[in-house]
Amino acid sequence: MRETTLRDVADLAGVSPRTVSNVVNGYARVTDATREKVERAIAQLGYRPNVLARNLATGRSGQIVVVVPYLDTPYFAELLQGIIPAARKLGYNVLVDQTDGDREHEHELIGRGSRRFLFDGMIFSPLGLSQEDLAVRDPDLPLVVLGERSSDGTFDHVGIDDVAASTDAVAHLISLGRRRIAAIGDQPYPTGEAAQLRTQGFRAAHAAAGRPVDESLIISTARFNRVDGATAMAALLDRADPPDAVFCYSDLVASGAIHALHQRGLRVPEDVAIIGYDDIEDGRYSSPTISTIQPDKRAIAQMAVDRLVKRITSPSPVPGVEWRAEHRLIARESTLGVTS
């Protein structure tokens, strides 16, 4: 049996298809009598508009897509908790896609692909993509970039001040009297911009305290996840002069590092203090609880959606905005120890 269409409803109600459309969309002025007739017909036939057809006719889909590297990274999952309701409130439906941090895939998504037509705009958190890659993006696609890139003026960028936040984190370790501070999570140019900014903060904090940086304590990892954190920590502990504190570039890395420490029977923070980044829920429940940098996720989410929708609805080109959310240092047990 065929799906009922606008025309079927129109026939039953004795009006033109256009009028049914007007009722369905709440458009224009429709007399109460007409509206009621049409609504009765709709109910009777169980009519539902075909969004596909509507989208084709209007050229817009009412959907925005949020593209993240990994859905199983709690930071993104938590960010989405802010993005989804914010977008819904503005009448947009949110769908999520993941790239596995794969450069090809990311490229395809921001490039001039045919999926373009499915979405009115995109909130994108790049990982494998370098700044140059971003240049080949589809200029038609309203875009808000999350994270650490800076905008070239044709899209918006929303994030926190990574250098300042990282400086705060490391300064905290220094203020606790730690002498040999390692960093886990650096990544080489050109793709690891987030990581490089954090390393920059790491250096800045040392400089501000008049301390030299031991370059051998800056450890690169492929990803910001637990496995890599544990592996890097284990490697540090195998050395003759292990660190007494570690700045981890994400809470997941920190969680992995703590795991590696516990496996060797070392105590956090007595033997090694750990600070993470992102403030995921996990860190508030782990043992010890993880000191971290807390970005204002709600503000980031709200801002990203606002900017994107502005971009979608504005007929004229919108200048790219660089927007920094607040961040806070949250000191917990992994640096302060158990306080009671």
Partner DNA sequence: ATTGCGCTTTGCAGCGCTGCAAAGGACTAT
Partner DNA sequence: ATAGTCCTTTGCAGCGCTGCAAAGCGCAAT
Q: Which of 1, 11, 12, 17 binds DNA (CB under 7 A)?
A: 17
Q: Considering only the stretches 4-12, 170-178, 184-192, 265-273, report the one whose residues sit in contact with DNA under the rule CB under 7 A.
A: 4-12
If the CB atoms of residues 157 and 332 are measured against a second copy, the closer one turns out to be 332
**Backbone φ and ψ of 293, nearest 5°:** -100, 125
Per CB under 7 A, 15 contacts DNA: yes
Q: Which does 77 bind (CB under 5 to 8 A by kind): DNA, a second copy, none?
A: a second copy
If the CB atoms of residues 13 and 143 are measured against DNA, the closer one turns out to be 13
If the CB atoms of residues 8 and 161 are measured against DNA, the closer one turns out to be 8
Closest by Cα among 109, 116, 188, 195 to 149: 195
* Smallest separation (angstroms) from a second copy to the CB of 187: 21
Q: Which of 1, 26, 46, 57 binds DNA (CB under 7 A)?
A: 57
Whether the Cβ atoms of residue 236 and residue 246 lie closer than 8 Å to each other: yes
Q: Which does 84 bind (CB under 5 to 8 A by kind): DNA, a second copy, none?
A: a second copy
Integer Cα distance of 240 and 301 in angstroms: 44
Q: Which of 258, 305, 309, 330 binds a second copy (CB under 8 A)?
A: 258
Binding marks (x or -) toward DNA, 58..97, rule CB under 7 A? xx--------------------------------------
Q: Which does 34 bind (CB under 5 to 8 A by kind): a second copy, DNA, none?
A: DNA
Secondary structure letter of residue 118 according to DSSP = G
- β-pair type (292-295, 327-330): antiparallel
**In degrees, to the nearest 5, what angle opens at C-alpha 39 toward C-alphas 37 and 41?**
70
- β-pair type (156-160, 143-146): parallel
Residues 28-47 that bind DNA (CB under 7 A): 28-31, 33-34, 47
Per CB under 8 A, 230 contacts a second copy: yes
Q: Which of 44, 50, 216, 313 binds a second copy (CB under 8 A)?
A: 50
Integer Cα distance of 133 and 300 in angstroms: 24
If the CB atoms of residues 78 and 296 are measured against a second copy, the closer one turns out to be 78
Q: Render 226-293 in DSSP notation, one character per residue.
A: HHHHHHHHHHHHTSSS--SEEEESSHHHHHHHHHHHHHTT--TTTT-EEE-SS--HHHHHSSSPPBEE
Where does the chain show beta strands of DSSP type E?
A: 63-68, 93-98, 121-124, 143-146, 156-160, 181-186, 218-220, 245-248, 273-275, 292-295, 322-325, 327-330
CA 264 to chain centre: 34
Per CB under 8 A, 255 contacts a second copy: yes
Residues 259-318 that bind a second copy (CB under 8 A): 259, 262, 281-282, 285-287
Q: Considering only the stretches 45-53, 144-152, 194-202, 294-302, report the one whose residues sit in contact with a second copy under the rule CB under 8 A.
A: 45-53
Integer Cα distance of 219 and 236 in angstroms: 9
Whether the Cβ atoms of residue 119 and residue 62 lie closer than 8 Å to each other: no
Whether the Cβ atoms of residue 162 and residue 170 lie closer than 8 Å to each other: no
Q: Which residues bind a second copy (CB under 8 A)?
A: 46, 48-53, 55-56, 61, 63, 65, 71-72, 74, 77-78, 80-81, 84, 93-98, 112-118, 226, 230, 255-256, 258-259, 262, 281-282, 285-287
Q: Which residues bind DNA (CB under 7 A)?
A: 2-3, 5-7, 15-19, 21-22, 24-25, 27-31, 33-34, 47, 49-50, 53-54, 56-59
